[in-house]
Amino acid sequence: LSSANFEPLTKSWEVIEIGANNLKRELTSAELVKRYFDKEAERFDSIYSDQKGFRQKIVDRLFRRVIYQRFALTFEYCCEVKGKRVLEVGCGSGRYVTEFASRGAEVIGIDLAPAMIDLARSSASKAGIVDNCRFEVADFRHWQEPHNFEICVGIGLFDYISEPMSLLKRMRSVTSEMGVFSFPVRWTFRSLPRWLRLNSRRCPVYFYGRTQVAELMVAAGWSDITVTRLSRDYLVRAKAW
């Protein structure tokens, strides 16, 4: 046999090896993100809380205003949600899930970090809306529950995803009406400090350009896409048909 006979097999093994390396890198990235938010859960959740000192409120309003803006605009985009099924991927401490549930939606929130899910369940219990929502510690890429949602939300999620396309495609496949997602803007005065801060704590973070975001959404099968710049974030609204 000539060496040419073995070329396809060699290429196949190269593809397998590359695929395995990519999976290893992504799993490692997910584990780093999980560990970071397990440690930072309470501090992160406090951004949304009114139970803080005057000085911290001023700091949050000056440097974290985008968090409040995207929260308000997300619910403006979603309009009437009563009776609808909503999925939030990367739900964190459950602030969006709790708000959706309080408006009458049936909501599932999933997150990698157990500490975040503990906070989310506590928040839902205090709000008295546990019958309208459920939380799970899960990796959405491998989540096997039956899927059928009118709305899918991913806020503050793609900051930490090295391969966003596969996630956007899967989100599209479980959604019948619309999605709302945020992506951090690539070039702002806060991009480098944020990258340095998170990487020093072994948490990866990724940034995006407007054109890149739009192209990702189209390639993942979403349509009627609106990309709105909110300070350091793009907030994206898209239809699932």
The token pair at 215 is 């192209």
Residue scoring higher pLDDT (75 or 26):
75
Per-residue confidence band for 13, with pLDDT thresholds at 50, 70 and 90: very low
Reported as a single tens digit per residue, the pLDDT across 167-190 is: 999 999 999 999 999 999 998 988
Cβ–Cβ under 8 Å, residues 44 and 198: no
- The pLDDT score that the predictor gives to residue 100 is 98
Give the H/E segment covering residue 179: strand 175-184
Q: What is the pTM of this model?
A: 0.81
SS3 213: helix
- The pLDDT score that the predictor gives to residue 36 is 86
Q: What is the mean pLDDT of residues 82-103?
A: 97
Q: What is the mean pLDDT of residues 202-225?
A: 97
Share of the chain above pLDDT 90, in %: 66
Residues with Cβ within 8 Å of 231's Cβ and at least 6 positions away in sequence, in order, are 65, 66, 69, 185, 188
